[in-house]
Amino acid sequence: MNRSGDRIRIESTADAQMGTNSYLVSDLQTGDAVIIDAHMDPGQILELVAGSGRRVLAILLTHTDFDHIAGLEALRAALGPLPIAVHAAEWRTLAEGSPLRSEFPYPLPAMTGLEELVEGTSYLAGSLSLGVVHTPGHSPGGVTLEIERNLFTGDALFAGSIGRTDFSASDPALLLESIRGKLMAYDDDYLVYPGHGVMTTIGQERRYNPHL
């Protein structure tokens, strides 16, 4: 799926194993780009980048469940030692190669070159500026990333659903608080790019999401 505006292009890929989305967000004027989440088939993102003239400057993570970080090594091997930005509450997952959850002991080497995603502070990558909203509940360090009326919600909010909270390190009440108190504060026309499934809008979820 591609969506183009005056300046920002959003391209979406999904792996076959878990249906996890990974996004390439690009500034059409400068060629600067970031990757949001690194699913289990990083080759899809690499195909988008190859020969496009775009410069990937960072990888941003909505959270560190294994299916959202499995492609980190391959992306770095192909694109160079890109910084990886993550919320402090899940820093240890990457810095120590320590799985986020006991249910999914997915092996991952310790990562260097980490940067912190801080709520209320924009993450700058060249000409791109992404707002950071802490939306915990599915996981402690879950974040939503905002750029030009587009929201990347990870596994907090989906089209017609919300993130699972039956895992360790999850909190159902906190997830609903994050969605209702933060995400539902956005205007109806904001586009939502979730960690799984299809794009939706804040207005669509406000009206029809049965969990809200």
d(CA 31, CA 201) in angstroms, rounded, equals: 27
Please tell me the predicted confidence (pLDDT) of residue 125.
98
Sheet holding 32-36, edge to edge: 2-4, 8-14, 21-27, 32-36, 55-60, 84-87, 114-117
Q: Average pLDDT for residues 115-130, to the nearest whole number?
A: 98
* Cα 154 to Cα 30, 118, 136, distances in angstroms: 26, 16, 10
The number of angstroms, rounded, from the C-alpha of 25 to the middle of its chain's C-alpha atoms is 11
Question: pLDDT exceeding 70 applies to what percent of the chain?
Answer: 98
Give the tens place of pLDDT for each residue, 89-104: 999 999 999 999 989 8
Please tell me the predicted confidence (pLDDT) of residue 107.
76
| Long-range CB contact pairs, 104-113, < 8 A, 24+ | 104/65, 104/66, 106/66, 106/70, 108/66, 108/69, 108/70, 108/72, 108/73, 109/73, 111/72, 111/84, 112/81, 113/81, 113/82, 113/83, 113/84
Of residues 109 and 70, more confidently modeled: 70
| pLDDT band at 105; cut points 50, 70, 90 | confident
Question: Which residue type is seen at 75?
Answer: L
**CATH code (residue 160):** 3.60.15.10
**Does position 206 have pLDDT exceeding 90, yes or no?**
yes
Give the tens place of pLDDT for each residue, 161-197: 999 999 999 999 999 999 999 999 999 999 999 999 9
For the chain, state the CA radius of gyration: 16
**Does position 78 have pLDDT exceeding 60, yes or no?**
yes
Give the tens place of pLDDT for each residue, 6-18: 799 999 999 999 9
Please tell me the predicted confidence (pLDDT) of residue 174.
98
Burial class of residue 34 (count of CB atoms within 10 Å of its CB; 0-12, 13-18, 19+) = buried
Q: What is the mean pLDDT of the chain?
A: 95
* Number of domains the chain is built from: 1
Please tell me the predicted confidence (pLDDT) of residue 106.
79
Please tell me the predicted confidence (pLDDT) of residue 108.
82
Phi then psi for 23, rounded to 5 degrees? Answer: -120, 145
Phi then psi for 210, rounded to 5 degrees? Answer: -70, -15
| pLDDT band at 109; cut points 50, 70, 90 | confident
> 5-14 burial by CB neighbour count: b if 16+ within 10 A, else e?
eeebbbbbbb
Could you list the residue range(s) of the whole structural domain that residue 134 is in? 2-208
Q: Average pLDDT for residues 146-159, to the nearest whole number?
A: 98
**Does position 5 have pLDDT exceeding 80, yes or no?**
no
Dihedral in degrees, nearest 10, Cα atoms 171, 62, 100, 134: -40
- In this structure, are residues 159 and 120 in contact, taking their beta carbons and an 8 Å threshold? no
**Does position 1 have pLDDT exceeding 70, yes or no?**
no
Vertex 36, ends 35 and 41: CA angle to 5°? Answer: 80
E strand or H helix at 61, and its extent? none
